[in-house]
Amino acid sequence: MIVLKSDEEIRLMREAGRITARVLQAIRDAARPGVSTAELNFLAEKILEQYGAQPVFKGYSFGNGMPPFPATITACLNEELVHGIPGSRFLRDGDLLTIDCGSRYEGYIGDAAISIGVGDAGDEVQQILQVTEKALHVGIAQARAGNRVGDISAAIQAFVEGEGYNVVRGYGGHGVGRTMHEDPHVPNYGPAHRGAKLRPGMTFAIEPMVLQGKKDVITLPDHWTVVAKDGKLTAHCEHTVAVTENGPEILTLL
């Protein structure tokens, strides 16, 4: 069931989204060679505390006996696509870093992710970053009343594959509101004109996950980190978006 949000609820989601955006901006500024992903996580914790927001990922569990996620952000490097656990790994010059963060403020959630190059990132990194960022905006442009979820999915897939990259199949966008994962699921692939019809008041995360190589992924023994099976580069960008009478509104902006 898709929960439609009132203007007041969307206002609160905009506040939560702004806090998430602040976290990601601070990490963008702090992510230099020699910094550990645990330090970036600590920075995120401090910012949420400062703004009276709570981490959404910390303690999150997919159930089935798997351990809960232990941190405020996910941190992924290079072939790591999503759900990486921050720790003692140090960023190196040329790394591709992906950070995802969910904040809850006054009961509402803002979910967003960025992929960035660390230090002097080379052409391969720059290219996948550009494609992924563009794919996010290609998807957001379809988040209009009267379209269907599949229009977002198909636009992202067509763009990414047209650039010679792949999109992952097992993970994708999702409704967001009082909980992090609501209906509808927003895949990064699939046919246009299918799925739920978009209506004003719908809020969801759009999040292309792009692979330089084949689309197959595996989960590491830590039960969380999802990596490209072929070890090639991956990138992931995300915004929480509201469908409004006047088109899509990105809620996770500064």
Nearest to 189 by CA among 142, 161, 214, 154: 154
CA atoms within 13 A on the CB side of 186: 33
**Residues with Cβ < 8 Å from 187, sequence gap 6 or more?**
149, 153, 169, 172, 173
Q: Which two tokens stand for residue 61?
A: 């569990």
Contact segment (CB under 5 A) with Mg ion among 62-70, 90-98, 115-123, 232-240 equals 232-240
- Check residue 182 for interaction with Mg ion (CB under 5 A): no
Instruction: Give whichever of 94 and 179 is closer to Mg ion, judged by the CB atom.
Output: 179
Instruction: Give whichever of 20 and 142 is closer to Mg ion, judged by the CB atom.
Output: 20
Q: How far is the CB of 34 from Mg ion (least distance, A)?
A: 26
- Residue from 100, 151, 182, 249 in contact with Mg ion (CB under 5 A): 100
Please provide the DSSP assignment of 142-164 as one string.
T--TTSBHHHHHHHHHHHHHHTT
Contact segment (CB under 5 A) with Mg ion among 23-31, 150-158, 202-210, 223-231 equals 202-210
Instruction: Give whichever of 113 and 129 is closer to Mg ion, judged by the CB atom.
Output: 113
Q: Which two tokens stand for residue 100?
A: 């995802």
Are 206 and 140 in contact by the 8 Å Cβ rule? The answer is yes
- Residue from 9, 79, 80, 111 in contact with Mg ion (CB under 5 A): 111
Distance between the two ends of the chain, CA-based, in angstroms? 30
Instruction: Give whichever of 76 and 154 is closer to Mg ion, judged by the CB atom.
Output: 76
String of contacts with Mg ion for each residue 52-81, x by CB under 5 A: ------------------------------
Please give the residue ranges that form the binding site for Mg ion (CB under 5 A): 100, 111, 113, 205, 238
